[in-house]
């Protein structure tokens, strides 16, 4: 199943129609759908797809030679292979318009640190004036940004385009489960996030708890060890990173709290958090009204991947129960009592995204995020500096309809937000899982308060 990625496919298609040589860089987290995107793009186009691995460089060249030899029916190449990368570049430059996709390019760099320089020379001397459509893909975001896109990289300035592939949003992810209600899918999305490979694991015909049991909590299930596999693949000291991720999943979001929980030195925690941020597993948040993001001392760290958040909260600390086949205990005592609280955080993320994309006609916001001080927190704030406008939002994932009291509390907290001036226009929005009381509906109509049930507009 291939969902969305329409803009990315259109961008690749437009670049292909331009007869000039192209050098496209595509990167993003593992399992996010980079490979499938490229395969959809070149399925009816002459192409060479090569998946790099951790084999020695000589073996990688041999495997690439075989791929090229098969495409061009070159018996000599199939038997002999390329002696080095430059032989390959010289060979391929005369083959006209062909897509060359090298997946997991960072593995080639690990095998030979000179690969960026080799590809730079190959591009400058052989490929830039050819019909090549070169695509370099990578899941190691840090390496792709440093060794391929970074200004210190020999390849800097050569690319003709780049695509950072993000996980799917709520709406596009929901297309994997077209018969499921928004409310029920919010549970699925809270657990799996927008990673296509994870969404494909759940059975749409089974209920949530059956999927959690069979697709996550069974020791032989794909998802059971997935975060562990990714961290071991990406990191040299996974055990220490596990400790930090577990601490964050427990609500230890400030650096001082992570230090106290893990016992690591401040500089060690800082280094690990930087790496996890580069991998898009962790994100740093500051109150949206802060002017200097990097310098703000109010920063907190959150897990930036729904499945990692679920796994570190419910699977990792309970692995011994699972491996002893006491899955019922984990579901009954660990997951069920807390799941709605867990889902509420994702619902807030979805609502912020909804505001960010401009759900309110005629109103866009430059910045959207959370806001907090010592004694108050607001789930959604949208800032439009050009129009001198600010939006305050409250999100409730509860079984009760939201009443006027919630709006009054939001207005009281909004008074504490230091942004704008006496001419700033203020707007209010309420998101509710179960809708709104009659009194709230009447007040919303009178005061032009925006109400959204689930993620759909009310009234």
CATH number, domain containing residue 238:
1.10.10.10
Q: Is 417 in contact with 289 (CB distance < 8 Å)? A: yes
Q: Say what the pLDDT of residue 457 is.
A: 66
Whether 344 is covered by a domain: the verdict is no
459 pLDDT above the threshold of 60: no
Indicate the number of domains in the chain. 3
Q: Are 111 and 46 in a shared domain? A: yes
Distance CA(95)–CA(226), nearest Å, equals 40
Sheet harboring 425-432: ordered strands across?
367-373, 376-384, 389-396, 425-432, 450-453, 456-458
Q: Is 75 in contact with 82 (CB distance < 8 Å)? A: no
Q: Are 366 and 449 in a shared domain? A: yes
196 pLDDT above the threshold of 80: yes
Q: Say what the pLDDT of residue 2 is.
A: 67
Q: Which residues contact 115 (CB under 8 A, 6 or more apart)?
A: 85, 108, 109
165: helix, coil or strand?
A: coil
Q: Are 219 and 293 in a shared domain? A: yes
Q: H helices of 204-360, where? A: 208-211, 226-234, 238-249, 255-262, 266-278, 306-310, 319-323, 327-329, 339-356
Task: Using CB atoms within 10 Å of the CB of residue 216, give its burial: 0 to 12 exposed, 13 to 18 middle, 19+ buried.
Answer: buried
Whether 343 is covered by a domain: the verdict is no
| Domain at 11, CATH number | 3.40.50.300
Number of other CB atoms surrounding residue 419 within 10 Å? 17
279: helix, coil or strand?
A: coil
Distance CA(273)–CA(100), nearest Å, equals 35
341-365 average pLDDT score:
87
pLDDT-based confidence at residue 19 (cuts at 50, 70, 90): confident
User: Which residue in 448, 445, 455, 381 sits closest to 413, CA to CA?
Assistant: 381
Whether 233 is covered by a domain: the verdict is yes
Whether 338 is covered by a domain: the verdict is no
> Could you list the residue range(s) of the whole structural domain that residue 409 is in?
351-458
User: Which residue in 226, 179, 231 sits closest to 206, CA to CA?
Assistant: 179
Whole-prediction pTM: 0.91
129-150 average pLDDT score:
93
Distance CA(327)–CA(319), nearest Å, equals 10
Q: Say what the pLDDT of residue 4 is.
A: 72
316-320 average pLDDT score:
94
pLDDT tens digit sequence for 427-449: 999 999 999 999 999 999 999 99
Q: Are 307 and 397 in a shared domain? A: no
Of 193-202, 227-236, 247-256, 404-413, give the lowest mean pLDDT range: 227-236
User: Which residue in 457, 396, 394, 382 sits closest to 426, CA to CA?
Assistant: 382
Distance CA(402)–CA(6), nearest Å, equals 37
pLDDT-based confidence at residue 80 (cuts at 50, 70, 90): confident
What is the chain's percent helix, strand, coil content, to nearest 5?
50, 15, 35
Q: Are 299 and 360 in a shared domain? A: no
């Amino acid at each position: 199943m291939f969902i969305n990625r329409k803009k990315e496919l259109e961008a690749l298609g437009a670049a292909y129609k331009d007869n000039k040589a192209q050098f496209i860089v595509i990167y993003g987290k593992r399992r996010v759908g980079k490979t499938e995107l490229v395969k959809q793009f070149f399925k009816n186009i002459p192409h060479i797809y090569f998946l790099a691995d951790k084999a020695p460089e000589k073996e990688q060249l041999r495997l690439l030679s075989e791929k090229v030899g098969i495409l061009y029916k070159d018996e000599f190449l199939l038997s002999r292979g390329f002696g080095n990368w430059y032989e390959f570049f010289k060979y391929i430059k005369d083959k006209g318009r062909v897509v060359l996709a090298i997946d997991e390019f960072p593995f080639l760099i690990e095998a030979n640190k000179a690969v960026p320089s080799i590809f730079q020379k190959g591009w400058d001397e052989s490929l830039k004036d050819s019909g090549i459509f070169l695509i370099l893909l990578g899941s190691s975001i840090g390496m792709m940004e440093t060794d391929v896109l970074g200004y210190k990289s020999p390849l800097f300035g050569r690319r003709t385009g780049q695509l950072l592939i993000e996980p799917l949003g709520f709406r596009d992810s929901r297309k994997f489960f077209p018969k499921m209600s928004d409310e029920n899918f919010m549970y699925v999305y809270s657990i799996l996030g927008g990673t296509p490979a994870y969404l494909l694991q759940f059975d749409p015909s089974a209920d949530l708890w059956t999927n959690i049991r069979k697709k996550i909590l069974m020791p032989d299930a794909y998802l059971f060890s997935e975060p562990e596999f990714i961290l071991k693949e990406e990191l040299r000291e996974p055990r220490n990173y596990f400790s930090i991720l577990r601490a964050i999943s427990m609500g230890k979001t400030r650096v001082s709290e992570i230090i106290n929980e893990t016992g690591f030195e401040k500089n060690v925690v800082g280094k690990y958090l930087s790496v996890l941020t580069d991998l898009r597993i962790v994100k740093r948040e500051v109150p949206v009204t802060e002017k200097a993001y990097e310098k703000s001392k109010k920063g907190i760290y959150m897990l930036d991947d729904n499945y990692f958040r679920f796994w570190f909260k419910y699977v990792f600390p309970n692995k011994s129960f699972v491996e002893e086949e006491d899955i019922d205990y984990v579901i009954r005592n660990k997951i069920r009592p807390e799941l709605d609280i867990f889902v509420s955080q994702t619902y807030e993320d979805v609502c912020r995204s909804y505001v960010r994309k401009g759900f309110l006609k005629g109103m866009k916001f430059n910045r959207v995020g959370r806001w907090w001080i010592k004694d108050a927190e607001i789930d959604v704030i949208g800032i439009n500096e050009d129009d001198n406008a600010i939006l305050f939002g409250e999100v409730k994932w509860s079984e009760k309809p939201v009443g006027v009291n919630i709006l009054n509390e939001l207005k009281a907290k909004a008074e504490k937000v230091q942004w704008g001036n006496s001419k700033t226009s203020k707007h209010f929005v309420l998101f509710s899982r179960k809708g709104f009381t009659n009194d709230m509906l009447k007040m919303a109509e009178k005061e032009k308060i925006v109400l959204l049930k689930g993620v759909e507009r009310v009234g």
